[in-house]
Amino acid sequence: MSAPIEPRTLAHVAERAHAVVDEVQRVYVGPRTVPELLLITLLAKGHALLEGVPGVAKTTLCKAFASTLGAGFRRIQFTPDLLPADITGTYVFSPREGTFQLREGPIFTNVLLGDEINRAPAKTQSALLEAMQEHQATIEGDTRPLPTPFIVLATQNPVEQAGTYPLPEAQIDRFLVRLLIGYPSARDERGILRRFLEGSPQPQQVLAPEQILAMQQMVGQVHVEEEILDYVVRLSTATRQQARVFLGASPRASLALVQAARARALIQGRPFVIPDDIKALAVPVLAHRLVLTPEAEMEGTQREALIQKALEQTPHRSA
């Protein structure tokens, strides 16, 4: 059993987390929960999928978030003709040295923004899948570790289907959370216009990579009671028993929910997980992992509604 986190350290982490969200919101106008979920994903060593129509500031959000971390940032615009080597890099012959030298691709960074990930073909998506799952890249048979910390922030347009390749279930399951970025409220949109006219502020660095790594280690020290584990298992089981669900939340989904809950507890200054952590994260962590029946797909059933139903049917205390 790991040593408990000191109260002073917890307070400092919560203060830094609050500062990160504040800095992002100087640029990104939207719900505070969105940058909070990005930070939770980073500390839980996961990846985030952002869905929304074009023009709702998904890329702006990711850039602002990366700026607060003091970490490397690269962006890839996914297209149907993108090759795995365009992501991972390739060996190039150097006439001066007389040897082949690795020209690293954009994946060798800390924060990787993959714009319109569903436009890439399956072979390219598989190269990204290795990086997301194993934190490594294989280039012409040579496996190299990626920098730490490492997070993929991928965006996709859920409406436009022409020229896209739907993400396979195995890859969707590697995203810790999916965030649905909708249209802003009238008040927020007015704020966006005002900031554009006045010149958008640049977010300041709040964290450093070594601080992020230390916080990621602290997540592993956050205590989880057996009662919380039972609640997660019952919740995942409830998703598998719904008539409109073909495949419910897997054990990997349960693990992801527990890890995200530990990260949420940490940034709120708590050394333990509470049921509210599970309830707050169930939709963004579990909804995108559900595979609906064909009938439910045709009827336009919302996965988020099914998770809410599972939450309502599952008390956090066992009978």
Tokens of 253: 């989904």
Per domain, the residue ranges of the chain are 1-83+110-206, 222-314
d(CA 99, CA 106): 22
User: Is the confidence at residue 58, as pLDDT, over 90?
Assistant: no
List pLDDT tens digits, range 9-24: 999 999 999 999 999 9
8 A C-beta contact, residue 122 and residue 82: no
What are 127-152's pLDDT values in tens digits? 888 888 888 888 877 888 999 999 99
Q: Tell which CATH classification among 3.40.1190.10, 1.10.10.10, 3.30.420.40, 1.10.8.80 matches the domain 222-314.
A: 1.10.8.80
The answer to whether the Cα torsion of 253, 259, 262, 266 is positive or negative is negative
Confidence of residue 212 (pLDDT cuts 50, 70, 90): very high
1-83+110-206 in CATH: which number? 3.40.50.300
99 phi, psi to nearest 5 deg: -135, 165
**pLDDT (mean) for 271-296:** 93
Q: In this predicted structure, what is the pLDDT of residue 281?
A: 96
Q: What does the block give as tokens for 83?
A: 């090759």
User: Are 20 and 207 in contact, with CB atoms under 8 Å apart?
Assistant: yes
Q: What is the pTM of this model?
A: 0.91
